[in-house]
Structure 1
């Protein structure tokens, strides 16, 4: 176990536990890149960059993943992205987490490497600024153990929005020179836009 929180080992977490209601199909299974499902594309991006990569999922999703991949099943009740984050924090409380939502089809290792290079472990988290509203992006960010401890306290008090936790605490915000890589695809229309306008599936 890491004794100094400021040197917390960095793990990665791919959030796949959402219900994908707007997309009407599991977002983590969409193949944007050469017929590779999105969860595996992200896993391949993250593997060279961190010590361990984990997939966050609900209990009823386990069979969707090959047994060779490390899973963290949701271990607390709830339906927000905080559930996956806090389940990972519960499993490995000593680790910092590079958290990636599964609905980022344009993400490459360039943005991930920038996030890692800019990490400030003294802060509660390191996050990109959203190009849409200038707010912190909670689901493409590095959460330090103390940041996740605050998220847990907020969640237990009924405030389960990870973005609000970032807004209300001392974090490092960075600008991404490739802001299009933060594009979320949450609907069939957004999925079609990515496939038609970006060379991701060739």
Structure 2
């Protein structure tokens, strides 16, 4: 039996390199944010959240059971702020997925990031450029590290994950060659071709 967990799609980025909102790009017949949200809805989360800016035209029907979490107006805390807000809200392990990782599969998330055993610790993968921070499992015990970093305006997630691993709050696994494609980002229109 899986431990209850929540899942959040991070869709609020500014998409400066893409020059258009990544969340609204078309991916296999639907907007990218919808495709990514469907992955999260299929993996058995007790709660599913959509984190975005209030000015984005993203809409979910109340019947879908998705909780909208808007970034505060005029505040740019990046993914760290969004993840912290969602983790505070759900108070349970939180599986995070970025909207711009279209090659990530529900099967990979279910097998590697959904918590299956107690005690639950954060789970992340380490690639050639460091920890993959935007497809991972964050746990409430990491909140003090995140809140401290926000208070000091240190918005990078890498040091938080490193500190969590050092404190026994998280573990990282090396990404195998066959797993690396799941973590590819779509940062430019050419990346999606």
Shorter-chain TM-score: which interval?
0.7 to 0.9
Structure-2 change in CA distance of 1:181 and 1:16 (3 Å): same
Please list every run of 5 or more consecutive structure 2 residues that lacks an aligned counterpart in the other structure. Answer: none
Give the equivalent residue in structure 2 for 1:188.
189
How many Å separate the matches in 2 of 1:139 and 1:180? 14
User: Which of 88, 95, 105 matches 2:86?
Assistant: 88
Which whole-Å deviations, capped at 9, do the CAs of 1:169-197 have from their partners, x for residues lacking one? Answer: 22211235422011001112222xxx2xx
How many Å separate the matches in 1 of 2:126 and 2:117? 15
User: Which of 108, 113, 116 matches 1:111?
Assistant: 108
- How many residue pairs align between the two structures? 181
- Once the two structures are superposed, the pairs formed by residues 1-202 of structure 1 within 5 Å of their partners are 9-33=4-28, 35-49=29-43, 50-61=45-56, 63-68=57-62, 69-75=66-72, 77-92=75-90, 94-116=91-113, 122=119, 124-130=121-127, 132-133=128-129, 135-170=130-165, 171-174=170-173, 175-176=175-176, 177-191=178-192, 195=193
Kindly indicate whether the alpha-carbon contact (under 8 Å) linking 1:30 and 1:37 is maintained by their aligned counterparts in 2: yes
More strand per residue: 1 or 2? 2
Structure-2 change in CA distance of 1:117 and 1:71 (3 Å): closer
How many Å separate the matches in 1 of 2:161 and 2:186? 22
Please list every run of 5 or more consecutive structure 1 residues that lacks an aligned counterpart in the other structure. Answer: 1-6, 196-202
Kindly indicate whether the alpha-carbon contact (under 8 Å) linking 2:10 and 2:98 is maintained by their aligned counterparts in 1: yes
- Deviation for aligned residue 1:120: 6.8
TM-score normalised according to structure 1 size? 0.80
Equivalent position SS for 2:102:
coil
Instruction: Give the RMSD, CA atoms, in angstroms.
Output: 2.3
